[in-house]
Structures are given as C-alpha cells and as structure tokens.
C-alpha cells in the first residue's frame, strides 16, 4: 500500500484530496496547523469526513518549525508528499508579507530539507495562477515569464517553484508544480468570493463588486482539481527525473458580473450590487492553458461553472439549514 503525505489536509482542497485518496486505497498521513486565517471549527468539520478512517493518521503541526517537523518525520517515509499547506489569500498577503514568507517559503524549504535528509524522492506542490500576475497574453502557458508578481502571496508561490527546481537540480528530487486556478465547490474557504457572495445573497445583503465586473477568473471545480492532483501523484510514482509545472485550471474564464448573476439565478434571488474601486493586488483575468496538463497527466476538467455552483449551493444550504 502506497503512502501519501498531505500537508494542509484539513483545508478545502486538502480534505477533498484525502477523502478521495483513502477511497482509492492509499494510506494517508495528514498535517495541518489550523492557521487562524479562518475558523478552526470549519477545518475540524472538514476532517470529520475521514478522521476515523483506518488508513488515515493526523498531526497538528507547524511546517515552519523545522525541529517539530523533523521529529514527526523521523519514522515516516511516504512515497509522495502533496504539499498544499500555506497561507492563502492575495489581499491579506499585502498586510502580512512576513507571515506569508514564513508559512509558504520557509515551510516549503523545511519540507525539501526533510526530503533530502530522508531520501523521500517525490513531491506535488500547490502553486497558484497568481504567479502569472497581469500577463498581457492569454491563456496563461507554463512557459511564460512570471517574473512580475503583483502580490506577496504570488511572489511566495513563485519563490517556492524556484526552490523546488534548485532541490531537483542538486538532489534529484522529483517535483511537479501544480498551478491552481480559483478552485471552488463544497467546503470552499469562507473568505473566497463564491462563498462570501452566497452568504450575502442568503442574508439579503448587498454584494461588493470591485470594478465594473469585467474582471474574470478561471473557476475550477474542486473535484476536477483533485483529479488533477491524483494524476500528478500517479505521474510522479511512474516517472524518474521529474521537474514539471502544469496549470490545473478550467480553460473557461467567467466574468465577475456573470459569476454573481449565476449564483443569484441558482439561488433564486435578485442580487443587489455595491460597486467599489478595484483593489490592490487584484489581476484582471486568470485563464489557464491546460494543454500541458492534458498531455502529461490526461487532465481534463469535467464540471461546468453552473453545475459547480449548483453543487456548492446544495452543500452551503445543507451546512446552514439550522441557521
């Protein structure tokens, strides 16, 4: 039985991944530090879906604490590490760049050092579409210049990709960087737009719309992202001398105003819009070219934006039915 170590296992994407891996017969080791960026209760609720599984083990641990990580890993030798943990959010990173450097760059450095010391060869790393900044050309391809990040969050993710390459070059670690594009679906973080807008609509409150609604995001349903991660795991297990970067997006950007309208239609309400100025760190569009992911991993998203919104609303209403 193969073992996968999942960092950030109690988060949105991490909890879906753990559940799916356990269902597929993997042994899973989960790490999470319950970062206070959003409620610990939410993450504990995510864990309830699989915390009792006989092939799942869990530890609460701060990856930026190298000694604690080394102690925990002293008797662990997973076949693959899926490193999803890190401080999320573009706008909050502008207020706390040092915190993002610690949680994203230092933590990744510590994991790479542990891999080198213990002979753990393979890692799938959660990067982000944010690394593309305001690239003028779309869709975004992995071979584009990403030297101009527009937020601390973005520069930490780009920095991690660079560190990953260095460790691949020096120590022959097999690493696959996965650039996620605005993942959504059940269990989505409460600070993200779809979750936030749904909450406001259900409470008959106005929706803040930054700019004229013409910005666009390549929303990717969480089950499609998880399928891409699992394909990355398989690829790493089957290949040697790997250093790759792939976009895990949907290849279909949705305008902000259309996103709001779709949620409102599926929720059966009329939105009230409060138009506000654009915010620092925001990009105009994210748009994934997924050719490389398709060629390497067989990645092909299957869930339309509207269908994903339906599934998110069903989950949201179930969770909040007693509110």
Which amino acids are annotated catalytic? Answer: 153
- Distance, CA of 90 to CA of 229 (rounded, Å): 22
Counted residue by residue, the chain has a size of 323
The residue assigned the tokens 């590490």 is 81
150 — phi, psi (to 5°)? -110, 15
- Distance, CA of 22 to CA of 2 (rounded, Å): 11
Q: Taking the C-alpha atoms of 100, 171, 113 and 84 in order, what is their torsion angle to the nearest 10 degrees?
A: 50
Tokens of 107: 């933590």
- If we measure between CA atoms, which residue out of 104, 307, 138 comes closest to residue 218? 138
State the helix-helix crossing angle for 256-267 and 193-202, rounded to 10 degrees. Answer: 40
The residue assigned the tokens 């915190």 is 99
Residue pair 12/39 in contact (Cβ under 8 Å)? The answer is no
- DSSP at 206: P
Tokens of 69: 């990580």
Residue pair 178/164 in contact (Cβ under 8 Å)? The answer is no
């Amino acid at each position: 039985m193969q073992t996968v170590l999942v960092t950030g296992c109690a988060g949105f994407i991490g909890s879906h991944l753990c559940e799916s891996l356990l269902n597929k017969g993997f042994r899973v080791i989960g790490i999470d530090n319950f970062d206070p960026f959003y409620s610990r209760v939410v993450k504990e609720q995510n864990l309830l879906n699989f915390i009792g599984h006989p092939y799942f083990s869990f530890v609460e641990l701060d990856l930026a604490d190298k000694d604690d990580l080394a102690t925990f890993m002293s008797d662990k030798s997973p076949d693959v590490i899926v490193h999803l943990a890190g401080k999320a959010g573009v706008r909050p990173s502008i207020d706390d760049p040092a915190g993002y450097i610690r949680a994203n760059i230092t933590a990744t450095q510590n994991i790479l050092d542990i891999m080198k010391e213990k002979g753990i060869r393979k890692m799938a790393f959660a990067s982000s579409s944010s690394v593309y900044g305001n690239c003028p050309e779309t869709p975004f391809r992995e071979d584009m210049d990403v030297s101009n990040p527009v937020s601390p969050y973005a520069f930490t993710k780009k920095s991690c990709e660079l560190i990953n390459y260095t460790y691949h070059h020096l120590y022959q670690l097999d690493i696959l960087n996965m650039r996620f594009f605005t993942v959504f679906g059940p269990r989505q973080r409460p600070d993200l737009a779809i979750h936030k807008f749904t909450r406001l609509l259900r409470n008959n409150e106005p929706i803040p719309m930054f700019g004229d609604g013409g910005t666009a995001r390549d929303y990717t349903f969480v089950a499609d992202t998880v399928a891409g991660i699992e394909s990355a795991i398989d690829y790493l297990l089957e290949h040697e001398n790997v250093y790759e970067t792939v976009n895990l997006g949907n290849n279909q950007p949705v305008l902000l105003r259309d996103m709001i309208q779709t949620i409102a239609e599926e929720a059966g309400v009329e939105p009230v819009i409060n138009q506000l100025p654009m915010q620092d760190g925001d990009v105009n569009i994210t748009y994934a070219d997924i050719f490389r992911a398709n060629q390497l991993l067989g990645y092909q998203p299957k869930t339309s934006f509207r269908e994903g919104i339906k599934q998110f609303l069903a989950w949201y209403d179930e969770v909040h039915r007693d509110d």
